[in-house]
Structures are given as C-alpha cells and as structure tokens.
Amino acid sequence: MDTTREVEVVVAGAGQAGLAAAHHLRRSGFEPDRDFVVLDHSPGPGGAWQFRWSSLTYGKVHGMHALPGMELTDADPARPSAEVISDYFDRYERAFDLRVRRPVDVRAVREGPGGRLLVETSDGVWSTRALINATGTWDRPFWPRYPGQETFRGRQLHTARYAGPEEFAGRRVVVVGGGASGTQHLLELAPYAAATTWVTRRPPVFREGPFDEYAGRAAVALVEERVRQGLPPRSVVSVTGLPLNDAIRQGIEDGVLDRRPMFDRITPDGVEWDGGGHVDADVILWATGFRAAIDHLAPLRLRGPGGGIRMEGTHAAADPRIHLVGYGPSASTIGANRAGRAAVRDIRRLLEREPAAA
Ligand SMILES: Cc1cc2nc3c(=O)[nH]c(=O)nc-3n(C[C@H](O)[C@H](O)[C@H](O)COP(=O)(O)OP(=O)(O)OC[C@H]3O[C@@H](n4cnc5c(N)ncnc54)[C@H](O)[C@@H]3O)c2cc1C
C-alpha cells in the first residue's frame, strides 16, 4: 500500500523561520494539512529556544524579534528565555492554527516522480512540490579537533549541553570561543568556578555603541555574499562583533574576559601552548558554534565545490523548489521572519507558473 501523502509545501522545522513561513503560507490561502504541513522533531514548541540553558533569561537575550502578526508582550525578563519563547510559540501556533506535527524527524529529501520532492520522515513519506527548510543549527553543534583531545581526563561539553554554571562549582574551566555564548558562559561561570580561562582563535572584536540598522544590514550583506558564491555561511552574529555592554565591560575589568590565543594541544590534565604555557583544567567548554542542520538534503546534491549551497535569495540556485530559511544571512530572528515571507512569495509564483499535473 502506498502511504505517501501529497501536499503543495512541506515546512521542515518549527522554529522562528518555520513558523514565520507557515504564517505567510496561511495568509496566502494555503490550508494546513491539505496544502502544507509543518514537521518538527523536537518534543514541544519553541524551536531551539526550548533547549537553551535556564540561566539564559529573557532579559539576557538581545534583539529577539516577534513572529509576524503577534507581539510578545509583558514577558518577565527574569524568566528563562526557554520558557518565555516556548510559551509564545505555543500560543502562536494555536492562534494561527498551524498544526505543527511533532515529533516528526525529516530524514531525507529526494527527487520524486513528476517533478515532486519526496520527504522521508519518521512518520512516513510526503510528496511535495516545494520545500521550506527551516531546520536551524542547534542539532549540529560544531566541535573543532585538537591534538590530544581524546586523552583529556576531565569533562568536555559543547554549548548545546550547557545547563548553567552551578555544576561547575570548584572546577577549573577552559572556555573556547569568541562569540556571544562564550562570553556569557565565562561571566556566569566566574563566581562558581575555581578558575576560568578564555581562549579564542582570533582576538575578539568588541563593538562600541548601538548596533544600528545600517550595521545590521552590512553584516547580513557579508553573509549573503558568501552564500551567493556557494561558500558555507558564517553566522550573522559572527560578523557583527560582541556588543560592549555593562556586563562585558565589567568582565574585562575583572579579568574574566582576558582572552588567550588558542592552545596548541590538549593534555590529560589541561591545555598547552607551543613554546611553553600550560593551564590545568577539569572541564573544556566548547562554545564554538553550530553548522546548518541540513544533512537530510544530501540526496539532492545541492552542495557545490565551495562547500556550501549556492543561493539566490532564499532558494537554492540550482533548484527553485528548495528554500532555506533561517540559513546564512537569515539566521537571526528578524532574518528568519523576512526569509519566511520571501520564500512564500517565491513559492506562490513557482506554483502558479507550473500548475500541478492533473
Ligand atoms: C544561545 C543563542 C542565543 C541567541 N540569541 C539570539 C537573539 O538574541 N536574537 C536573535 O535574533 N537571534 C538569536 N540567536 C539566533 C536565533 O536563535 C536564530 O537565528 C533563530 O531563532 C533560529 O530560528 P530557526 O527557526 O532558524 O531555528 P531553530 O529555532 O533551531 O528551529 C529549527 C527547528 O527545526 C527542527 N529540526 C531540526 N532538524 C530537523 C529535522 N531533521 N526534522 C525535523 N525537524 C527538525 C528543530 O527541532 C527546531 O525546532 C541565538 C542563538 C543562540 C544559539
């Protein structure tokens, strides 16, 4: 028995990007279940926010943009962002009747018959005319490799598994990475840990003054240019620099944010630099970022020689049926909103131009 179900559009992922896209589909007259489905493999609403550590309160989140059509009002800044945003996404899904199916894991997307795509999932196969891929990055933490890493006797973990500073009480912690997560970890850990060491590949760039729209657009344009050339995207945050706020200023003054260059090797009891220098450590915390979680697109062979997917706007240059939202230049809450709208606009044109085969 063929259990393949047919829709016009599959949205993979129900984070900011997937919900924004689903909202615009709905507004354009696409009916959930009949014309489109939203599939997500996480247990509940919230996208990646549901997994963020509880000490990342809503007040510590910078520049979270509301989803289209419904403001996030009266949020308590002292509440964990994981709770605030998951609640908000839950209300949003209900308000717009988006009918997210979860947990449904998208395992592979392949070319199907009649110019359709086959989306293979943990809950059967969907045949679709277009795919909006909004699977984010949280599921692909990036760990660089260093000599001796496997010999380390302490604990190594990635930001994706960080649950707050308390469990590091009395520990000597090396934090690797010069992004927002690395600095936030250090500021949180300092009062608990026996010692902290901060190492980054490049000297961190602190940004003075407000991050205005002009600077934001310039940062997005940089990432956009990379994906247009088919290079792997860098995160928007990685090109905006670190905002020099009061907490960061204090951290620099207290010596908590005293950066050292990247170590050359890991030893059983710490990290070491060429030409001398060793730091004893019980924990190495890798705040080294994430990569796009798009392994399920591999059968479509979209990656080019540059190692990334060459993009035109929100769709793969080689295939206008495949949209990547929350990817590269749209990997921010505001970018995800805009990309969701743009993807739906393009898909409407695509589907009207090529009516479904009778
Ligand atoms: C610690 C941290 C703080 C941040 N703070 C900010 C901020 O203050 N402001 C800002 O603008 N941006 C911030 N960002 C970036 C921001 O979170 C993202 O740009 C945006 O929220 C991501 O939305 P998304 O929908 O692309 O991805 P996600 O929220 O990751 O959603 C992706 C969804 O896809 C699902 N999924 C993944 N793979 C599959 C699969 N194979 N099958 C089915 N479902 C799948 C996941 O379950 C998830 O629900 C932050 C990021 C991090 C890591």
1, pLDDT greater than 60: no
Q: Which of 28, 29, 26, 8 is nearest to 18 (CA)?
A: 26
CA 104 from centroid of its chain's CA atoms: 19
Distance of CA 100 from the midpoint of ligand 1 (Å):
16
Q: What is the pLDDT of residue 101?
A: 98
Distance of CA 155 from the midpoint of ligand 1 (Å):
26
Q: Domains of the chain by range and CATH?
A: 5-139+290-353 (3.50.50.60), 149-205+241-286 (3.50.50.60)
pLDDT bracket for residue 211 (50, 70, 90): low
Our answer on whether the CB atom of 323 is closer than 6 Å to any ligand 1 atom is no
Atom of ligand 1 nearest to the CA of 46: 49
- In DSSP notation, 328-357 reads GGG-SHHHHHHHHHHHHHHHHHHHHHSPPP
Distance of CA 15 from the midpoint of ligand 1 (Å):
6
Distance of CA 46 from the midpoint of ligand 1 (Å):
9
Q: What is the pLDDT of residue 355?
A: 47
Our answer on whether the CB atom of 333 is closer than 6 Å to any ligand 1 atom is yes
Contact 123, 101 (CB under 8 A): yes
Distance of CA 67 from the midpoint of ligand 1 (Å):
13
pLDDT bracket for residue 234 (50, 70, 90): confident
Our answer on whether the CB atom of 17 is closer than 6 Å to any ligand 1 atom is yes
Residue from 11, 53, 135, 181 to probe ligand 1 pocket by mutation (most atoms less than 8 Å from CB): 135
pLDDT tens sequence across 267-304: 999 999 998 899 999 999 999 999 999 999 999 999 98
Q: What is the pLDDT of residue 218?
A: 75
pLDDT tens sequence across 95-143: 999 999 999 999 999 999 999 999 999 999 999 999 999 999 999 999 9
pTM across the whole model: 0.92
Atom of ligand 1 nearest to the CA of 17: 25
CA 290 from centroid of its chain's CA atoms: 7
Q: What is the pLDDT of residue 217?
A: 76
Our answer on whether the CB atom of 177 is closer than 6 Å to any ligand 1 atom is no
What lies within 8 Å, CB to CB, of 355 at 6+ separation is none
Q: What is the pLDDT of residue 90?
A: 98
Range from 198-202, 243-247, 325-329 carrying the lowest mean pLDDT: 243-247
Atom of ligand 1 nearest to the CA of 327: 26
Our answer on whether the CB atom of 287 is closer than 6 Å to any ligand 1 atom is no
pLDDT tens sequence across 134-175: 999 999 999 999 999 999 999 999 999 999 999 999 999 999
pLDDT tens sequence across 298-348: 999 999 888 899 999 999 999 999 999 999 889 888 899 999 999 999 999
Higher pLDDT, 227 or 107: 107
Q: Which of 119, 120, 126, 97 is nearest to 32 (CA)?
A: 97
Our answer on whether the CB atom of 50 is closer than 6 Å to any ligand 1 atom is no
* Spatial distance between the Cα atoms of 194 and 170, rounded to a whole number of angstroms: 4
pLDDT tens sequence across 71-90: 998 899 999 999 999 999 99
